[in-house]
Amino acid sequence: MKNVKKEITKALGDELHEYLSLQKIDELLEVPKHENMGDLAFPCFELAKVFRKNPSQIAADLSASIKLSPLVVSTIKAVGPYVNFFYNKEAYTKELMTSVLKSAHTYGSHTFGNEKTIPMDLSSPNIAKPFSMGHLRSTVIGNAVGKILEKCGYNVVRINYLGDWGTQFGKLIAAYTLWGEGEKVRSNPIQELLALYVRFHEEAEKDASLVEMGRAWFVKLEKGDPEAIKLWKWFKEESLLSFKGIYNLLNVSFDSYKGESSHHQQSEEILTLLKEKGLLEESDGALVVRLDEEGLPPALIQKSDGTTLYTTRDLAAAIFRKKTYNHAASLYVVGNEQSLHFKQLRAVLKKMGYDWADEITHVPFGMMLKDGKKMSTRKGKVVFLEEALEKSIQFAKQNIEEKNPGLNQKEDVARKVGVGAVIFHDLKNDRLNDVEFSYEEMLKFEGGTAPYLQYTYARAKSILRKAEGDVTSYSFNAEDWGYAWSVVQKVAAFPEVIEQAAHYYDPSKVAKYLLKLAQSFNAYYANVRILETGSYQNGRLALTEAVAIVIGEGLRLLGVEVPEEM
Ligand code: ARG
């Protein structure tokens, strides 16, 4: 279904393309002050100069020559210097409803992705550390972007690139051998390992030999020392168990868990390749690729002690992904504090001669702040995500007990609402903005929240359950248009919103759109008696069902589950 304004813009463009761009026409079109002047008006003042005619004459000529389907616009009338357009709301809405109800959850899908493969690096938490709010952002943004791209016909491969390799594991192993207790770690792995890590940093400030010890353990780990490997494996298993609990709650899954450790061995090949191409330079005993021409600082490839680095492993992983997936684009949903890293990654790959380097696409997002400041793992200043999710679910439960204690499947609804609130709290913001973490904001279940949308969906569903009769032919009451038309136009806009969200990798476009749709529908619900029997009931029910379809599908794309009753 086409947007009516777009159709009119196009039709005007066919007449005026020599003088005005489509964008200019779009800007000129205005909503008349009085309803009896139509739904949209085009002023002809600007054309007077080029046509050397008076604006009223131009309006009269245009209204006679412009071609628009009577199914879209019923009347075109010149009034003074304006061309006024009257929409054919009835025909337009009938066609839209037929199409939405027939397509059901496939409404809004596109095929422009042509089944091309897009690997997406998302979530990617660091083992032996708590799952941070930054990782939550990556997980929920990535999950939503993936679903939106799939709806546009792409084949998305979700890769959880675990941070399971690097100097920090040397430090952690050192700390464990010094102060660790097996029992404690087993019973509360993440918190215990974090405590060891924090203690290591504190004591290393006083005792420099610890730094040396940590480094030595990482060298051992890279060389495959059995004791180092055994401890590292154990930390990783415990961490994964805890992460998977979070993924279950969030209802997110991955196609691959290939993390940094899966690529450290390929680092040798990367070094050889870089050497062959003469790209490596020594700098204080370390090996770097200079990126002066690109205006970037040099990329560190190997430390002076011979160990590999984050960038080295990412180079290996990028090459592996191109070989494995022959991708159209390779996405990295990672915080914007790593922008430089991804610029360097792309630049080094380009220098290595890979013509696909530009397919590396960083999808950055802002930070999650606490009291206006970045949260720091090293200092132990983090909000534990599981705690946040549990709090939200608890709050949802309380709400249900107060407002609807007889509800079926309370536990399941509370989980969907509580988790939905956390996810949506993140997604409704432009992804580049920093988000202040606030329980108060997150647990507000009204206004621009997931519970508000879930509630609107459940309300629509309950109306449909109460109504009898099948929804096959629809009539619309002209008196309803005041509230119905804005709902209709929003329903019609869904496919375009999806396309935009895919183009900008931006789920907030869907989130904001859903809030507007729900607002229009709730105003419609408050002012129009949807269930009143008579010849218009079918039309009203069709609109209600269309809204339920779009909200349900929109929330699914955002990774928010929707209960049928609330
Ligand atoms: N583990 C990293 C971190 O927590 C994020 C990894 C992002 N992905 C990548 N391919 N570099 O900061």
ipTM field: 0.99
Largest CA distance in the chain: 91
* 314 close to ligand 1 (CB < 6 Angstrom): yes
* Predicted local confidence at residue 551, as pLDDT: 98
Give nearest CA residue, ligand 1 atom 4.
125
Q: How far is the CA of 556 from the centre of ligand 1 (A)?
A: 26
Q: How far apart are CA 41 and CA 19, in angstroms?
A: 18
334 pocket-lining for ligand 1 (C-beta < 6 Å): yes
Residue 126 Cβ inside 6 Å of ligand 1? The answer reads yes
Q: How far is CA 217 from CA 100, 128, 224, 226, 274, in A?
A: 61, 16, 11, 11, 27
Give the span between the Cα atoms of 265 and 222, in whole angstroms: 9
314 CA distance to ligand 1 centroid (A)?
9
Q: How far apart are CA 195 and CA 189, in angstroms?
A: 10
Report d(CA 337, CA 516) in Å as an integer.
32
**Residue 132 Cα: closest atom of ligand 1:** 4
**pLDDT tens for each residue of the chain, 566 residues long:** 567 899 999 999 999 999 999 999 999 999 998 878 899 999 999 999 889 999 999 999 999 999 999 988 999 999 999 999 999 999 999 999 999 999 999 999 999 999 999 999 999 999 988 888 889 999 999 999 999 999 999 999 999 999 999 889 999 999 999 999 999 999 888 889 999 999 999 999 999 999 999 999 999 999 999 999 999 999 999 999 989 999 999 999 999 999 999 998 888 899 999 999 999 999 999 999 999 999 999 999 999 988 889 999 999 999 999 999 999 999 999 999 999 999 999 999 999 999 999 999 999 999 888 777 776 655 555 556 778 889 999 999 999 999 999 999 999 999 999 999 999 999 998 999 998 877 777 777 788 999 999 999 999 999 999 987 665 678 899 889 989 999 999 999 999 999 999 999 999 999 999 999 999 999 999 999 999 888 899 999 999 999 999 999 999 999 999 999 98
CA distances from 91 to 4, 59, 73, 88, 477 (A): 12, 26, 9, 6, 12
| CA–CA–CA angle 375, 380, 386 (5° rounding) | 75
332 lines ligand 1 (CB under 6 A): yes
Q: Is the CB–ligand 1 distance for residue 124 below 6 Å?
A: yes
Ligand 1 midpoint to CA 438 (Å): 25
Q: Ligand 1 mean position to 163 CA, how many Å?
A: 6
CA of 164 to the centre of ligand 1 (A): 10
Rounded to the nearest angstrom, the distance between the alpha carbon of 360 and the centre of ligand 1 is 14
Using alpha carbons only, give the angle 430, 436, 437 rounded to the nearest 5 degrees. 115
Site to substitute for ligand 1 among 127, 161, 340, 360, most atoms within 8 A of C-beta: 161
Residue 129 CA, ligand 1 centroid: distance in Å? 13
Tell me, in angstroms, the distance from the centre of ligand 1 to residue 125's CA: 7
Ligand 1 atom with the smallest distance to the CA of 314 is 10
Domain ranges of the chain: 4-87, 385-558
Measured between its terminal Cα atoms, the distance across the chain in Å is 32
Q: Which atom of ligand 1 is nearest to the CA of 334?
A: 7
pLDDT confidence of residue 1? 59
C-beta of residue 63 within 8 angstroms of C-beta of residue 78 = yes
Pairing verdict, β 299-302 and 82-87: unpaired
Distance 346 CA to ligand 1 centre (A): 15
For the chain, state the CA radius of gyration.
29
Query: Best substitution site from 121, 124, 169, 264 to test ligand 1's pocket, by max atoms within 8 Å of Cβ?
Result: 124
Q: Check if 139 has its Cβ closer than 6 Å to any atom of ligand 1.
A: no
C-beta separation of 381 from 370 below 8 A: yes
545 Cβ closer than 6 Å to some ligand 1 atom:
no
∠ CA 467-471-473, rounded to 5°: 135
Count of CA atoms in the C-beta half-sphere (13 A) of 224: 2
The confidence score (pLDDT) of residue 116 equals 98
The upper half-sphere exposure of residue 354, i.e. CA atoms within 13 Å in the direction of its Cβ, equals 24
172 CA distance to ligand 1 middle (Å): 19
Whole-number Cα distances in Å, 290 to 179, 318, 351, 376: 41, 19, 10, 31
Among 141, 314, 320, 338, name the best residue to mutate to test ligand 1's pocket (greatest count of ligand atoms within 8 A of Cβ): 338
Residue nearest to atom 5 of ligand 1 (CA): 124
Amino acid at 531: L
**Ligand 1 centroid, distance to 26 Cα (angstroms):** 43
- Is the Cβ–Cβ distance between 260 and 166 less than 8 Å? yes
Structure tokens at 93: 């809405």
Q: Is 163 in the pocket of ligand 1 (CB under 6 A)?
A: yes
Structure tokens at 387: 């705690």
Residue nearest (by alpha carbon) to ligand 1 atom 1: 163
State in Å: Cα 259 to ligand 1 middle.
9
Domain 385-558 falls in which CATH fold?
Isoleucyl-tRNA Synthetase; Domain 1 (1.10.730)
- Report the topology of domain 4-87: Gyrase A; domain 2 (3.30.1360)
Q: Is the CB of 161 under 6 A from ligand 1?
A: yes
Asked whether 435 and 369 are in contact (CB, 8 A), the reply is: yes
3-class DSSP assignment, residue 383: coil
Ligand 1 centroid, distance to 334 Cα (angstroms): 7
The amino acid at 307: T
Q: Quick one: which atom of ligand 1 is closest to the CA of 318?
A: 10
Gap from CA of 190 to ligand 1 centroid (Å):
18
161 CA distance to ligand 1 centroid (A)? Answer: 7
| Nearest partner of 359 among 319, 316, 299, judged by Cα | 319
Q: Is the distance from the beta carbon of residue 168 to the nearest atom of ligand 1 less than 6 Å?
A: no
Residue 121 Cβ < 6 Å to ligand 1 = yes
